[in-house]
Chain A
Amino acid sequence: MTKLITIKDLNFQYAKNAPLLSNFSLDLEAGHIYGLLGKNGEGKSTLLKLISGLVFAQGGSIDVMGFKPQLRHPSMLQDIYFLPEDLYQTSLSIEKYEQAYAPYYPHFNANQFNQLLTEFEIDSKKASLSKLSHGQKKKVMIAFGLATNTKLLLLDEPTNGLDIPSKAQFRRMVASAMNRERCLIISTHQVRDLDGLIDNITIMDHHKISFNETVEDIKKKLTFKLGNRTDTDESIIYTEETIQGFCQVKKNLTGEETKVDIELLFNALMTNKIRIQALFSKHDN
């Protein structure tokens, strides 16, 4: 797979003596959908901004498709679509928005945009974006972003404001717009919204990447199952009481693959980071 983003020993801070990212390193490849997870204030949105050249690294290096993002080279920008959590306010109609902005993106596909809008149940392109609800506006922007066919798509909390059916539509649409050339990074708190969509889980903790693994590898090394309170099996890494019972994250000793519960994995990592990291650092496991 082609490496699209290489971040090496990156340092960034907004205020003095309050580093947000320190000695931060990460490689991201084409053909993957990365779920970027982390608690509030970990620097997820800032990382997306650093990748798009909206803020500048104070140390280390970032390479995005062969460009230095802080230079904001148009050839780089026309291959990045960044959807921030709060949306740009415009009174343009969807049709005029497309007229104004689509020409900047050489791979923009108008038919795909129309199809995505239809799938999102946005009936009229004549509608003014300022008159749409936040959720509808977000759908338009997501559809536009997918239709730009940029190599890099950065979505910051894309499912915020979407109703339940729209979240399922979102997952379907993102999956359908994915190809081997593209890399999607979705930053979110709402981990359940990414269920079955992402193929790589990247977790930030204490301003560093504490976990970056493919879902395939996670399935091989961990199982997510219901158990009992009294279970004392050594392979249990984390247990969480829920209405259904005791959800457990265990070492996968049998080779049986279970569905990855992202929220459970996140909580397991927050409470038992060393054990999980050790498990994934052993390549023979």
Chain B
Amino acid sequence: MNQSINPNKILLQLKQYFLENQEKEIMYWGIMTLIFTLMHQDGTFLFILSISGLIFSARQFKAFGHTPSGIHYLMIPATQTEKIITAVLLNTVYYFTMSVVAYGIGNLLGSTLFNNMMSTQAEISWSLFTGERHQIWSVLISFVSTQAIYMLGSLIFTKHPVRKTILTIIAVMVSLYIIEYFVFQLVFGNETKLTNLLPFFSEKFADADDSFFKVLTPIMESALAVVLWIVSYFRLAEKEV
């Protein structure tokens, strides 16, 4: 399997993406800015980022929903690695940067308009996330992992990727919860109460006395995205149209 990485090929794919999606991108980020103008309160950034990220990333490999587009994509002379890196750059680095820009503009516009309309002089808050610094890192890691899940979803589900990815996430979460419930029942007995859906991502679990899980949780969080990118790579490599 050829895994070489040629930065020029990545740049070419990015150029190709922006040439093909110029109008759609302008419209998308215009709408996002408008949403942030209307909802510029603290805490909304992360919520909007998660929802819109799904729409953006789950359409990353929409080419596979239409055979000629799938052929066109697979025939592009670039390695699978270069194609995956391009997709990751678009749906994490580019998407996050553009979201911050849209939030910044929307926040400024929204706050200014609100102050003018209400004749108030409220300060503009520039905080993207609420919480401590170490929590922000955790939020960023979660964002990257979530985007990786959505990207994988778009590779697996060629038709209706957004809908199917959401349903799969729900199904996986419920299954994990059930498995977790029974494992905890077996290990800790009937007195165990499960308040968090997924232990590895929950603060409660990270705060547990067991140092093994304390070490494991951040590793799991950080490794998830990488694992999903690797899975996406293999999924792309075995894709047939």
Binding site for B on A (CB under 8 A): 49, 52-56, 71-75, 77-78, 80-82, 84, 86-92, 96, 99-101, 103-105
Contact A88 B71 (CB under 8 A): yes
Residues of B within 8 Å of A104, CB to CB, are 9, 12, 76-78
**Is B2 part of the binding interface, using a Cβ–Cβ cutoff of 8 Å?**
yes
Q: Which residues of A contact B237 (CB under 8 A)?
A: 72
Chain A contacts of B241 at CB under 8 A?
Answer: 49, 54-55
> Which of B62-70, B151-159, B161-169 is found at the contact surface with chain A?
B62-70
Name A72's contact: one of B15, B67, B80 (CB within 8 Å).
B80
Contact B71 A82 (CB under 8 A): yes
B67 touches A86 (CB 8 A): yes
A55-B241, A56-B240 given; A74·B9 CB < 8 A:
yes
B20:A91 contact, CB within 8 angstroms: yes
Q: Say yes or no: A52 contacts B20, CB within 8 Å.
A: no
In the assembled complex, 10 residue pairs joining A and B whose CB atoms fall closer than 8 Å, in A order, are A55-B240, A71-B2, A72-B74, A72-B237, A74-B78, A80-B75, A88-B68, A100-B19, A100-B20, A103-B12
A63 to chain B, nearest CB (A): 16
Q: Nearest Cβ distance between residue B176 and chain A, in whole angstroms? A: 33
List the 3 closest pairs (A to B, CB-CB), nearest first: A77-B77, A78-B77, A88-B72
Q: How far is the CB of A141 from chain B (nearest CB, A)?
A: 10
A72–B239 Cα distance when bound, in Å, is 11
- Majority DSSP secondary structure for residues of B touching A: helix
**Given A75, A78, A88, A101, which contacts B69 in the complex, CB threshold below 8 Å?**
A88
Which of B2, B15, B68, B72 sits near A73, CB closer than 8 Å? B2
A74 pairs with B79, CB closer than 8 A: yes
Query: Is B51's beta carbon under 8 Å from chain A?
Result: no
Contact with A along B80-118 (1 / 0, CB 8 A): 101000000000000000000000000000000000000
In the complex, how many residues of chain B place their beta carbon closer than 8 angstroms to a beta carbon of chain A? 28
Question: Do A84 and B71 touch across chains, with their CB atoms under 8 A apart?
Answer: yes
A92 / chain B contacts, CB cutoff of 8 Å: 19-20
Q: Give the residues in chain A near B66, CB-CB below 8 Å.
A: 89
Which B positions have Cβ atoms within 8 angstroms of A?
1-2, 6, 9, 12, 15-16, 19-20, 23, 66-69, 71-72, 74-80, 82, 237-238, 240-241
Sample of 10 more A-B contacts, CB < 8 Å, known A56-B240, A71-B1, A72-B237 = A53-B74, A54-B75, A72-B79, A74-B9, A78-B77, A82-B71, A88-B68, A88-B72, A100-B19, A104-B9
Say yes or no: A105 contacts B69, CB within 8 Å. Answer: no
Give the docked Cα–Cα distance between A74 and B75 (Å): 9
State whether B77 touches A74 (Cβ < 8 A): yes
Beta-carbon nearest neighbor of A77 in chain B: B77
Q: B18 CB to closest chain A CB, in angstroms? A: 9
The reply to whether A87 and B68 form a contact with Cβ atoms under 8 Å apart is yes
Q: Min CB distance, B69 to chain A, in Å? A: 5
In the complex, A86→B76 CA distance in Å? 17
Name the distance in Å between B7's Cβ and chain A's nearest Cβ: 13
Residues of A close to B74: CB separation below 8 A: 53-54, 72
Q: How far, in Å, is B156 (CB) from chain A's closest CB?
A: 18
Choose among B9, B66, B72, B80 the residue with the greatest number of A CB atoms under 10 Å from its CB. Answer: B72
Q: Is the CB of B19 within 8 A of A54?
A: no
Instruction: Identify the closest chain B residue to A104 (Cβ).
Output: B77
